[in-house]
Amino acid sequence: MEKEALFWIRLNNKEIQCQLCPHFCVLKNKEFGKCNVRQNKKGKLISLVYGKPCSLSIDPIEKKPLYHFFPGKRTLSTATPGCNMKCRYCQNWEISQAKPGKARLKISPCDIVKEARSNKIKIISYTYTEPTIFYEYMRDIAKIAKKFKIKNITVTNGFINQEPLKELCEFLDASNIDLKSMDDEFYQRVCQAKLKPVLESIKLMKQNNVWIEITNLLIPGLNDSTEDIEKLVIWIKKELGKDVPLHFTAFYPCYKLLNSDSTNEEILKKARKIAISKGLNYVYTGNIEDEEGNNTYCPKCKEIVIKRKFFEIIENKIKDSKCSKCGERIAGVWE
């Protein structure tokens, strides 16, 4: 199933330019964008993955990770092949770096929503690869989902241009953005992308009332120094506010970084302490067994308001969006 893409212009008789993401790929006939799934076909930009998911599964919302958005609920997760970054450490590289032919399923946007409704699921997640590159498919699913009061969330690298993101925000309820580093050189060398557009995307989502949470994967020797961590935390507090949840997660060798070390658990715990000391209210650790770093605490009385074991909710003490002990408002989107 192929579909003419959105957000492109014709430059001349031989070339067109994709304007979906900051790569601004210029394509001659039959050429693919850096995402591998958008192609110039006889002077038109075509999405080759529309209606062709490579994954469809049901997950806990905590797996995204989203800890302050309908905790304990299930979400229908979907993705197509492709990504507009080339992260050397991608854990899903087998699908994110795949060609469109990797997708074996053919499922219309309407049928995705039917699948969610038949399983009594109220949230659809666009995840696993990069939802930006299957923008048209995601947007059409989200439009239908909204009609049935189903929420839409993305798990994204944030590398998307402002105009398409503004349009998407009309249908988007929450997003976890992978802020990989505050170093542009890291983005260029390790991910073949740029930092500034990601920061702009995060701020735009915040401005458009999309609930956001940030993930930072700490990779030994690349982005895990105290300076790296402090720079990221300070930016979040200044630009987004102290109530935006931050997830520090552990790296394990994969893809093109097989010879790298795994993240030391103590580095993750140290990063969490730094973020809290700098004034962030909700900071978590992931991909390790850390009870303290997995729970949500009231920023005022320090009581555990949500107790978790991995992705499972053990106890939820939030009532009417407040701590049941002291009445402090807990930032998030609750029942």
Sign of CA dihedral 221, 197, 158, 6: negative
Residue 116 pLDDT class (50, 70, 90 cuts): very high
pLDDT, one tens digit per residue, over 127-139 is 999 999 999 999 9
Q: What is the DSSP letter of 329?
A: B
pLDDT for 105 equals 87
pLDDT for 195 equals 98
pLDDT for 44 equals 97
pLDDT for 321 equals 97
What residues contact 116, with CB distance under 8 A and at least 6 apart?
76, 122, 123, 124, 145, 150
> What is this structure's pTM?
0.97
pLDDT of 210 > 90? The answer is yes
State the Cα–Cα distance between residues 314 and 30, nearest whole angstrom: 53
| Mean predicted confidence (pLDDT) in 144-167 | 98
pLDDT for 191 equals 98
pLDDT for 117 equals 98
Give the DSSP letter string of 161-212. -HHHHHHHHTT--EEEEE---S-HHHIIIIISS-SHHHHHHHHHHHHTT-EE
State the Cα–Cα distance between residues 231 and 289, nearest whole angstrom: 26
What is the number of other CB atoms lying within 10 angstroms of the CB of residue 209? 10
pLDDT for 103 equals 78
pLDDT of 159 > 90? The answer is yes
What residues contact 273, with CB distance under 8 A and at least 6 apart?
none
Sign of CA dihedral 214, 121, 3, 105: positive
| Mean predicted confidence (pLDDT) in 156-164 | 98
pLDDT for 306 equals 98
What is the number of other CB atoms lying within 10 angstroms of the CB of residue 297? 18
pLDDT of 1 > 80? The answer is no
pLDDT for 2 equals 83
What is the number of other CB atoms lying within 10 angstroms of the CB of residue 302? 11
| Mean predicted confidence (pLDDT) in 68-91 | 97
pLDDT for 15 equals 97
Residue 301 pLDDT class (50, 70, 90 cuts): very high
pLDDT of 102 > 90? The answer is no
pLDDT for 174 equals 98
| Mean predicted confidence (pLDDT) in 21-25 | 98
| Amino acid identity for residue 280 in this structure | L
pLDDT of 99 > 90? The answer is no
Residue 104 pLDDT class (50, 70, 90 cuts): confident
pLDDT of 12 > 80? The answer is yes
Output the CA torsion 267→272→278→279 (10° steps): 180
Tell me the longest C-alpha to C-alpha distance in the chain. Answer: 67
Residues of the chain with pLDDT > 70, as a percent, come to 100
Walk me through the domains of the chain, giving residue ranges and CATH numbers: 3-47 (no CATH), 55-294 (3.20.20.70), 304-335 (no CATH)
Secondary structure tally for the chain: helices H, strands E: 9, 19
pLDDT, one tens digit per residue, over 170-186 is 999 999 999 999 999 99
pLDDT, one tens digit per residue, over 227-265 is 999 999 999 999 999 999 999 999 999 999 999 999 999
156 close to 45: Cβ distance less than 8 angstroms: no
pLDDT for 100 equals 86
